[in-house]
Amino acid sequence: MKYLKQFGIILLITFVGEILRFLLPLPIPASIYGLILMFVLLCTKVLRLEDIREAAEFLIAIMPVMFIPAAAGLIDSWSQVQPIVIQMFITMVAVTFIVMAVTGKTAMFIIGKDRRNRS
């Protein structure tokens, strides 16, 4: 029963994110609204981590399984993807490195250990 309650809380926050996407005229996905809402609720202690920990850990554990339908969709549309597969691969590699660099710099900035600030 505890897992159902925790999963229900996560679903409720996700649903509120969907409502915000519908109400606000910004080009932001509902999942981002839900993540921001979850972050704010956890930071303000309105929602305690213990209230959702087990269900969140379960969802993280099964996350790789969630990519199977997307991969199957790519295989199903291979005839459309095949002419641009090299461009897609180059773009994915480049974007991966850009995201890693930006994430690293952001983390360094947040924790205050940017190399420029070192003496």
Domain ranges of the chain: 1-61, 69-112
Q: What is the distance in angstroms between the CA of the first residue and the CA of the last residue of the chain? A: 54
Contact 61, 43 (CB under 8 A): no
Contact 34, 14 (CB under 8 A): yes
Would the pTM count as exceeding 0.85?
A: no
What is the mean predicted confidence (pLDDT) over 83-88?
93
Query: Residue 11 has what pLDDT?
Result: 96
Tell me the pLDDT band of 71, cut-offs 50, 70 and 90: confident
Query: Residue 96 has what pLDDT?
Result: 96
Q: How far is CA 115 from the centre of its chain?
A: 28
What is the mean predicted confidence (pLDDT) over 87-93?
95
**Residue 63 reports pLDDT greater than 60:** yes
Q: Please give the structure tokens belonging to residue 112.
A: 């205050």
Listed residue (59, 50, 44, 49) closest to 11, CA to CA: 59
